[in-house]
Amino acid sequence: MATTQPAQIRPEEVGTEWMTWALRRSGTLADGARVTSVDREPCGTGQLADSYRFTLGYDSPGAGPGTVVGKFASEDPASRAFGQQSGYYRTEIRFYQQLAPRLSAVALPTALHAEVADDGAEFVLLMDDLAPARVVDQ
């Protein structure tokens, strides 16, 4: 996916500039508004990927969502290798880019930004936070 912003692949690299860019690009951020704070906390169970809930602040109250969820390649080397070699990361990104928008009868979070590295080893999926829904242990 071509971007004018460097790919943000790791959760610790997600800051106000990148989040402003991603939300603006998705049409989720009010015109002229900027993200002024980004706090992250882990969420989910993390078998093949690491998920974080990002709490956002804006220069204009109500300019965008209060929280979003980001999913990233696992920090665990074995899980990351499996995600890359199996094509799991690439498949999940393609699902949200190509199939999810057509599934109106299924409750899914909207993907705000979906990107995978050329080698399939890293990805970022930024999506709506479905709270108060919670993750269950499979």
Q: What is the pTM of this model?
A: 0.88
Tokens 């997600």 found at: 14
In whole angstroms, give the CA distance from residue 40 to residue 77.
Answer: 22
Pair of tokens at residue 48: 């093949």
* DSSP reduced 3-state for 101: helix
In whole angstroms, give the CA distance from residue 69 to residue 56.
Answer: 11
Rounded to an integer, the average pLDDT of 109-128 is 93
pLDDT of residue 1: 41
CATH architecture of 11-128: 2-Layer Sandwich (3.30)
Rg of the chain over all Cα atoms, to the nearest angstrom: 15
In whole angstroms, give the CA distance from residue 13 to residue 22.
Answer: 13
Q: Read off the pLDDT of residues 16-74 as tens digits, 9 standing for 90 and up.
A: 999 999 999 999 999 999 999 999 999 977 789 999 999 999 999 999 999 999 999 99
